[in-house]
Amino acid sequence: MEFIQTLLANELVVSIFLSLLPLVFIIVYALVVLYTEMKVAAHIQDRVAYMRTGWHGLLQPIADMLKLLQKEDIIPDKADKLLFRLAPIIAFVGTYAAYAVLPFSSIYIGSNINLGAFFLVAVGSLVVVGILMAGWASNNKWSLFGGVRSAAQMISYEIPTAIAIIIVVMITGSLNLQDVTKFQDGGIGNWVVFGGPLPWSQKLMLMPFTIITFFILFVSSIAEVNRTPFDLPEAESELVQGFNTEYSGMRFAMFYLSEYANLFTVSAVGVALFLGGWSSPFGTFMSGPVWGIFWFVAKAYVFVLIQIWVRWTLPRLRVDQLMYVSWKVLTPWLFACLLAVGLILVL
């Protein structure tokens, strides 16, 4: 007991412990989402998915994980070995850095910096570099195509994401995600997607624009995590598997984990910015630091579910359609919203 107390008194140990908490969360969450994705996909396609490992196949994700960990780590002979080893690490670092600014609860946020929302946009670029590095180092043309496509797509869709974040920041007046969440505290009516806690006249005028902005943020976040209908980087019918074709074992698992962690991040960003983050939808009922974690994860999980649903429902876009959506549909609409929201706030 005394040992634990001296440990807890040490600032370094405590900060390392606190910074590892999201990692534990990611691993548990990845198992849950893996199971959900397989089951949802199966039921959409009128199958039942795995049923034999545990009750309704509940243990299957754990078996899958054990299998991945034991696989041989194969590095192609002609690959650039140093970059090949480095790429999954950089991609995961970029993903994990985003968790530093996610406000899981009113008392838990990795780093309560003033520029949280801005930081989120910036660290996404590390993932782009990791994916490009993987595509290049594999020395495989499909991997390279996948990597370049993925990078082009993520960069294009960063623009609508950033403008959507700016619109929220204009309403809330802060880039700190904790402040943004506190601004929306006090029930479902105060959420930014419904105009935020402003006077009714402004709120009603803002509401159509905030709803459009939220929808566009959601669409561009699907594109940023490279999922169907925007999964061109992994288009298996033309590119085998995209940038991670040559990866196996633990390194493949890191890309996989990074992908699912990103899926949660983009959903969590949407939740923190538009849907009140950790605040309870019923005002003071069921609110508090621990309920905060529940609400935050539950709201984000709903959007993860919707992304899975969309993935197994819609077909894949063509490259030109993908760029068309980003530059000629989402971006102009968001600029219109930006102008309108600015005008309404000045009124």
126 binds other proteins (CB under 8 A): yes
Residue with smaller CB distance to other proteins, 158 or 246: 158
d(Cα 186, Cα 284) in Å, to the nearest integer?
A: 7
Alpha helices in the chain (DSSP H): 2-9, 11-44, 60-70, 81-98, 116-137, 141-172, 177-183, 200-224, 236-239, 249-274, 289-311, 319-324, 331-346
Rounded to a whole number, what is the distance in angstroms from the first to the last CA of the chain? 60
Interface residue with other proteins, options 35, 50, 119, 218 (CB under 8 A)? 119
- CA proximity to 219, closest of 204, 209, 229, 205: 229
d(Cα 203, Cα 344) in Å, to the nearest integer?
A: 9
# chain residues binding other proteins, by CB under 8 A = 29
d(Cα 85, Cα 345) in Å, to the nearest integer?
A: 50
CB atoms within 10 A of CB 84: 20
99 binds other proteins (CB under 8 A): no
125 binds other proteins (CB under 8 A): yes
Q: How far is the CB of 24 from other proteins (least distance, A)?
A: 24
Tell me the backbone φ, ψ of residue 153, rounded to 5 degrees. Answer: -65, -45
132 binds other proteins (CB under 8 A): yes
Q: How far is the CB of 177 from other proteins (least distance, A)?
A: 14
Residue with smaller CB distance to other proteins, 41 or 169: 169
148 binds other proteins (CB under 8 A): yes
53 binds other proteins (CB under 8 A): no
Q: How far is the CB of 119 from other proteins (least distance, A)?
A: 5
Q: How far is the CB of 209 from other proteins (least distance, A)?
A: 22
Q: How far is the CB of 15 from other proteins (least distance, A)?
A: 9
- CA proximity to 104, closest of 33, 25, 170, 34: 25
Interface residue with other proteins, options 91, 102, 133, 171 (CB under 8 A)? 133
Q: Which stretch binds other proteins (CB under 8 A): 34-42, 69-77, 81-89, 332-340?
A: 81-89
Site string for other proteins, 157-186 (x = CB under 8 A): -x----------------x-----------
Q: Which stretch binds other proteins (CB under 8 A): 64-72, 108-116, 197-205, 224-232?
A: 108-116
- CA proximity to 156, closest of 258, 84, 232, 102: 232
Helix (H) or strand (E) holding 86: helix 81-98
82 binds other proteins (CB under 8 A): yes
83 binds other proteins (CB under 8 A): yes
What 3-state class would DSSP assign to 103?
Answer: strand
d(Cα 156, Cα 310) in Å, to the nearest integer?
A: 21
Interface residue with other proteins, options 35, 96, 136, 247 (CB under 8 A)? 136
Q: Is 227 left (phi over 0), alpha (psi -120 to 50) or beta?
A: beta
The partner residues of 103 in beta bridges, in order of sequence, read 109
293 binds other proteins (CB under 8 A): no
115 binds other proteins (CB under 8 A): yes
Q: How far is the CB of 84 from other proteins (least distance, A)?
A: 12
291 binds other proteins (CB under 8 A): no
d(Cα 195, Cα 189) in Å, to the nearest integer?
A: 8
Residue with tokens 């994916």, as numbered in its chain: 131
**Residues found near other proteins in the complex (CB under 8 A):** 11-12, 80, 82-83, 86, 90, 113-115, 118-119, 121-126, 128-129, 132-133, 136, 144, 148, 151, 155, 158, 175
